[in-house]
A = this chain, B = another copy of it.
Amino acid sequence: MRWIRYEADGGTSYGILEGDEVEEVSGSPFGAHRRTGKHRALSSVRLLIPVVPPTFYAAGINYEVHVREAAALLGREPSLPEKPDIGYRANNALIAHGEPIVKPRDSGERFQYEGELVVVIGKEAKHLSEAEALSCVFGYTVGNDVSERDWQAGDRTMWRAKNTDTFKPMGPWIETDASLETMQTTVRLNGRVVSDFPTNNMIFGVAAYISAMTRHLTLYPGDVVWMGTDGATQNMKPGDTVEIEISGVGTLRNPVTAEA
């Protein structure tokens, strides 16, 4: 099932997408809700980010090739993580499918996409074993972990490198029936494939992360966990369009514009 969040007739709603039609749902998938029977064309609504997360988690370094490429880029020795230490991103940076990624005036050339699987939590969860971990997952969406590499290398934190406004496209919807084993992540820059990898080829998988996290923290409905990206990434510039497809989940597409 595909859940979308959208604006139509001046209001914000959740809906269930079937083909090109949206059925409005009152309430939210994370609480009480019911189908209303009201249908709309997908083309008539404005997509919003599919959830505003209470906490926005990100694995960061979670694929081997990316670790080696990122280390080379930052002039450091590659170091593979030894355990699933989760990190964070910030809600201010979230934008929906179709909205522009704004490249800041003072940013450098190494302004790059990262195509990531986003896990959406559906149930309050604590102390889950790896075997139980996926039971708290509501579904999956797609994220673009936009990064400014000079700031990433030079700042004390990743605040502006990763969390400048518009740096976190997420969407287009939440797919509840996808299978981790068969997902493939494909990134296209202006239609050309620039990255392509099996999504589940992670250093620590979704279940390993959730199990480790819930030893110490409670996950809540609507929390999101971005799972990292693989491979090298390339520069984006204003005028470009970046598209991240995860098979069985969806395609997230955003144009890049210059800061006014």
Chain A contact residues, CB within 8 Å of chain B: 52, 54-55, 57, 60-61, 81, 83, 85-88, 90-93, 104, 126, 155-157, 159-160, 163-165, 213, 216-220
Contact = CB atoms under 8 A, between A and B. Distances in A.
A91 B216 contact: no
Contacts of A55: 90-92
A216 B88 contact: no
A216 B54 contact: no
A220 B92 CA distance: 8
9 contacts: A52-B54, A83-B156, A85-B156, A85-B157, A88-B88, A88-B90, A92-B218, A165-B216, A165-B217
B86 A157 contact: yes
B216 A160 contact: yes
Q: Is the interface of A mostly helix, strand, loop or mixed?
A: loop
Contacts of A164: 216-217
Contacts of A104: 216
Contacts of A60: 156-157
A160 B217 contact: yes
B159 A85 contact: yes
A213 B159 contact: yes
A104 to B, nearest CB: 7
A170 to B, nearest CB: 15
Contacts of A86: 157, 159
Contacts of A126: 165
Contact of A87 (B54, B91, B159): B159
B217 A163 contact: yes
Nearest to A219: B92
